[in-house]
Each structure stands twice: as structure tokens, then as C-alpha cells.
Amino acid sequence: RGRGRGRTALVAKITSKHHEERPGVIALPAGTVGDRRGRQSFLETDELREVRIASFRRRVGSVDPGVWERVRKMGAR
């Protein structure tokens, strides 16, 4: 795995559809993921995946520190 050594990252799915029936859904501010229309997106934290850092093609943007704090708290459960 080597996550601590920077080889992989634990990632959550970002979607434009709100699935209120799923646990661990966090609303992201509109435009967070670089959507040209500025639509709101949602982070689904109930189904995390480990992805190789080399697999990332580009950086999309940054997220408000308050959102990351909510994500961290969910991961501690």
C-alpha cells in the first residue's frame, strides 16, 4: 500500500447528484470541482478507494478547510 510514503491516496467519489439515502454525503460549495456552470457537488465518503498517485491526471482545485475538517471527522468513525 505505502499510503504513508506517498504512493497512494485514499479518495472519495465526487458526484453532481445528491444521494440523501447514502450515509456520509458531504455537500461541497458550488464550483468547488471546477464545474463551468458552478453547480454544487457532493462528496460520497461511504465508499473510499485507494488510488495510485501516478494515476491522477490533473489537479482540479482546492477545497475549503471547513469541508476537509468534516471529512476528517467522518474518517475517524
> Does 29 have pLDDT greater than 60?
yes
Mean pLDDT calculated for residue range 14-18: 87
Q: Is 55 helix (H, G, I), strand (E, B) or coil?
A: helix
What percent of the chain shows pLDDT beyond 70? 84
Give the Å distances, CA to CA, from 41 to 1, 20, 28, 52, 61: 29, 13, 5, 23, 13
CATH of the domain at 35: 2.30.30.110
* pLDDT, greater one: 37 or 60: 37
> Does 45 have pLDDT greater than 50?
yes
Write the DSSP assignment of 12-51 as a string of letters: EEEESS--TTSTTEEEEPTTTT--TT---EEEEEEEEEEE
Its domain, for residue 37, covers: 3-75
Total of domains in the chain: 1
